Amino acid sequence: MRRPVVAGNWKMHGSRRANKALLAELELQLPPQWPIDVVVFPPYVYLADAVRLLAESSLAVGAQDVCAEPDGAFTGQVGAAMLKDVGCCYVIVGHSERRRLYHEDDALVARKFAAALGAGLTPVLCLGESLAERDAHKTEAVVARQLDAVIAMNGIASFSDAILAYEPVWAIGTGRTASPDQAQAVHAFLRSRVEAQDANIARHLRVLYGGSVKGGNAAELFSMPDVDGGLVGGASLSADEFQQICAAAAVRH
């Protein structure tokens, strides 16, 4: 059985005071022995705080993005080794907001994935189609293209240390969730695409669903055989909601 993951992407939200309160509440609500991996992704400037606050906890910390370059004259960027240095274990690459708002293409995402792995971080690779692409029946073609770019640059073996997150763009922050069947269909497609190259890696690969996951819909989504947890945005800012989502993932285990 694959160990479920619940990942909370805080996006550009929070403050030192609010983060401290949220993490303290989460620590109280999440039993340390749960059979799931729980990760929070605060903005860069709060990463070191989060690592310190969670030092005695089973929650891990990740970053929302990473520079593709290792170091050098890249003003405003943060390198993978720096993230590792402050105690991050995970990093999101290819989030649709980065692809859409900051024009990150498949090749750049593949390089970020490589940078993360090179520094010993676990990349959470986001894939997903827009509403127009879904309506045009291009969902599989889009996620295949996004996945294949990363496989082509990094090799299939690199996926033994990575996590996939299927995030239909039309479901992110919109309150509109993919149905469990829609999510399962894409997750199964992604797994089969990896399986075509390495069955063992495909069997162990965790594929998360993201897009308006809430306490009230998580159990249904996580009951699907290829949905191994969630990448959660808005609901990760509420300890109660996030705890409910984690509880749903723990039941799956």
Annotation marks residue 167 as catalytic? yes
User: Does position 94 bind ligand PEP by CB under 6 A?
Assistant: no
> How many residues lie near ligand PEP (CB under 6 A)?
14
User: Does position 79 bind ligand PEP by CB under 6 A?
Assistant: no
Gap between the Cα atoms of 111 and 117, Å rounded:
10
- Cβ atoms < 10 Å from Cβ of 192: 11
- Mark residues 158-187: x for contact with ligand PEP by CB under 6 A, - for none: ---------x----xx--------------
Across-strand partners of 206? Answer: 163
User: Does position 216 bind ligand PEP by CB under 6 A?
Assistant: no
Annotation marks residue 103 as catalytic? no
As measured in angstroms, the least distance from the Cβ of 33 to ligand PEP is 26
User: Does position 9 bind ligand PEP by CB under 6 A?
Assistant: yes
- Cβ atoms < 10 Å from Cβ of 145: 12
Active-site pick, 95, 97, 129, 187: 95
Type of residue found at 78 = V
Residue nearest ligand PEP (C-beta atom): 233
Task: Give the residue with the Cβ less far from ligand PEP, 61 or 202.
Answer: 61
The CB-side HSE value for 10 (13 A sphere, CA atoms) comes to: 25
Phi, psi of 209 (to 5 degrees): -105, 140
Segment lying near ligand PEP (by CB under 6 A), choices 98-106, 144-152, 194-202, 229-237: 229-237
Helix 239-252 to helix 16-29 angle (10° resolution) is 40
Gap between the Cα atoms of 156 and 117, Å rounded:
13
As measured in angstroms, the least distance from the Cβ of 209 to ligand PEP is 9
CA dihedral 210, 196, 99, 128 (to 10 degrees): -40
- DSSP for 32-61, please give it: TT-SSEEEEE--GGGHHHHHHHTTTSS-EE
User: Does position 109 bind ligand PEP by CB under 6 A?
Assistant: no
User: Does position 225 bind ligand PEP by CB under 6 A?
Assistant: no
Q: Which of residues 185-214 bind ligand PEP (CB under 6 A)?
A: 210-213
Contact residues: ligand PEP, CB under 6 A: 9, 11, 167, 172-173, 210-213, 231-235
Provide the annotated active-site residues: 95, 167
